[in-house]
Structure 1
Amino acid sequence: MRGKKSLPLVVLLLVLTAGCAGGTGEHAAGSGTRARELTLAEEAAIDRAEDTLVGACMRREGFRYWPGPVPGVAERQAGRYVVDDVDWARRYGYGRSFDLAAEKARVGHPNVTYANALPARERVRYSHALDGDLDDAVTVSLPSGGTVATPRTGCYAEARTRLYGDHAAWFRARKTVTSLTPLYVPRILKDARLSTAVAAWSRCMKEAGRPFASPDEIRRERDGLVEGMSRAEALRTESALAVTEAECARETSLGETARVLETEYRAEALRPYAEESTAYRRMRLAALARAREL
């Protein structure tokens, strides 16, 4: 392990547990009545319901709309700090197939080609109907600094109002709760439990003929490792490496250590935002109930 530099802040911000605000089934921090977190399958169900509502709204506005690709449970497990599910690794590697599908959808989904084919004036109207107008926006100051905004109007806003009850309140709660990583990740980086687990994982990888100092090093070198390979070859190569990573992560408990630390430090960061955290969880559960009624 190359000291703390092998675990850069930006990487942990992005992929420490892949969906830190939900999907674990555990209670989040906060006082008062606690509502459980959603499972990954439940998150997907809400996203599908949102897309259904957006489609209905766009059709009322006079446009065609096709359901978008909604990430399933397996795809939502991609991007973790360390792969520690051997079966998942064997099947998906590092999620390259998900990346390829997302890129294909980004440029070739019917909604994209349809919108691009519209006359310029209709394309503007389509964009406003879908996304709303940022001149009329909800603005939130983030705990880590800076602000984010989202339009109050548009089909996305309408769909989220239908699901969560209050789009503005939902946006404020969600952005507050899900933007805390810069406040606690530096503490994780300094925790000896993480560096000890990474060192043990690295020794295991070296013994398996995969001399990597950290999972982050694999992520940095991932594309180079498969450069020049066919898609099938790249998937097989990454899958084999991911399986070894997962086996070592299980043997050394690196994945569990990362999750424990994330849960611990995130809970501390959430304490000043207990009201927003409770609102976030309750609105997600309300959205799930409404999604199931559609």
Structure 2
Amino acid sequence: MRASRFVATVTLSMCAVSVAGGCGHGPGGDDTGRTRTVPRSVRAQDDLLKRAESTLAERCLRQRKVALAPPGAADGARPGGRTAQAAGAQRRFPYGIDDPAWAAAHGFGSAAETGRHSGAAARESAPRPRGEAARRQQRLTDALFGTGRRELSTRTATGLVVRAHSDGCLASAQRLLYGDQARWFRATVAANNLEAAAHHRVTRDPAYRAVLARWADCVAPVYKAADPDELRGAWQRRARDLAPRQAAALQRRYAVAEARCVRSTGLAGTGTRLEKRHTAGVRAEYAALIADHRRMRERGLRYAVRHGL
């Protein structure tokens, strides 16, 4: 939930840049006077809902006389920033890297290249607000997300318990958009975790475990690891005591070994095939919540268009 807090705060802060011109338009229309309709593409619908939540939450904060925080730095999102530079090293390999050439060029990818510990160090060394600035930030956080005991709770298909407040401005915005924040919370958590649930079941499927055992035998001459995650963890531990060039070379060696063994055993293909079956099972199990999510999402889209958000 910490990540969700950060994203929502940045969204609201960036919206505050355009306060003078308004984050939304008049009811049912835009600044050209044209009638607005619900967009067709899922991406445009997502953008509309995010903008609507931000606008409604911002209005709530104003009513509570809570000042918005200054916009955060967005260097990573700018063309040519760190995010753009790392794009070539960002590919998803949910069941192990299956491209030896890519592994030779990028190792485990941009996330592993920076290292978990260096990322934590960067967060620790980042300047933190103090004094009045810290108090303003805390007031914003409390007003936006709520305080005290988290009233809402649900469990994902992977067993993770997720909790949220119902007394903040974000909750108020969701009640306006979707009609019932508690139902929206439960349905959204379920919908957002379908892929993770299917992946979780794949990694415990006997058919997948059998191929994974062959992968482990294949990669053993380089490092004895039970799965790709363990291999990457081994690199992280060893890299701490190595010079950057040596750590990068070791990463590529491990990554290429992972990829060659994934390719030779068919681990990634097995995972992908099993995921289709398990995804169908997860969707059937959570069909009621998925339908609930779809209905409330459609309600939110109609509300956003009708109110010019």
Q: Could you state the TM-score of these two structures normalised by the residue count of structure 2?
A: 0.56
C-alpha distance in structure 1 between counterparts of 2:140 and 2:251, whole Å: 40
Match of 2:186 among 162, 172, 177: 172
C-alpha distance in structure 2 between counterparts of 1:47 and 1:229, whole Å: 46
**2:235 matched to which residue of 1?**
222
Amino acid at match of 2:281: E
SS in 1 for 2:67: coil
Q: Calculate percent identity across the aligned residue pairs.
A: 25
What is the RMSD computed on CA atoms of the aligned residues? Answer: 5.0
Amino acid at match of 1:226: A
Amino acid at match of 1:246: A
**1:83 matched to which residue of 2?**
97
Q: Could you state the TM-score of these two structures normalised by the residue count of structure 1?
A: 0.58
- Deviation (angstroms), 1:81: 4.5
Which ranges of structure 2 fall in alignment gaps of 5 or more residues?
1-40, 78-82
Match of 2:268 among 255, 261, 267: 255
C-alpha distance in structure 1 between counterparts of 2:174 and 2:106, whole Å: 34
Larger Rg over CA atoms:
2
C-alpha distance in structure 1 between counterparts of 2:191 and 2:97, whole Å: 25
The structure-2 alpha-carbon separation of the partners of 1:77 and 1:66, relative to structure 1 and needing over 3 Å to count, comes to farther
8 A Cα contact 2:150 2:165, kept in partner = yes
Match of 1:267 among 277, 280, 283: 280
8 A Cα contact 2:143 2:168, kept in partner = yes
Deviation track 1:191-232 (CA, whole Å, cap 9, x = no partner) reads 1x213322332344357x455443243144232332312345
- Deviation (angstroms), 1:164: 6.8
Deviation track 1:229-263 (CA, whole Å, cap 9, x = no partner) reads 23454234213321331232133221221233234
Which deviates further from its counterpart, 179-188 or 137-146?
Answer: 179-188
Which deviates further from its counterpart, 134-143 or 68-77?
Answer: 68-77
**1:19 matched to which residue of 2?**
none
Match of 2:68 among 43, 63, 72: 63
- Deviation (angstroms), 1:171: 1.6
The structure-2 alpha-carbon separation of the partners of 1:105 and 1:50, relative to structure 1 and needing over 3 Å to count, comes to farther
8 A Cα contact 2:225 2:231, kept in partner = yes
**1:93 matched to which residue of 2?**
108
The structure-2 alpha-carbon separation of the partners of 1:244 and 1:55, relative to structure 1 and needing over 3 Å to count, comes to farther
Amino acid at match of 1:189: R
C-alpha distance in structure 1 between counterparts of 2:273 and 2:245, whole Å: 35
The structure-2 alpha-carbon separation of the partners of 1:187 and 1:250, relative to structure 1 and needing over 3 Å to count, comes to closer
- Deviation (angstroms), 1:102: 4.5
- Deviation (angstroms), 1:265: 2.5
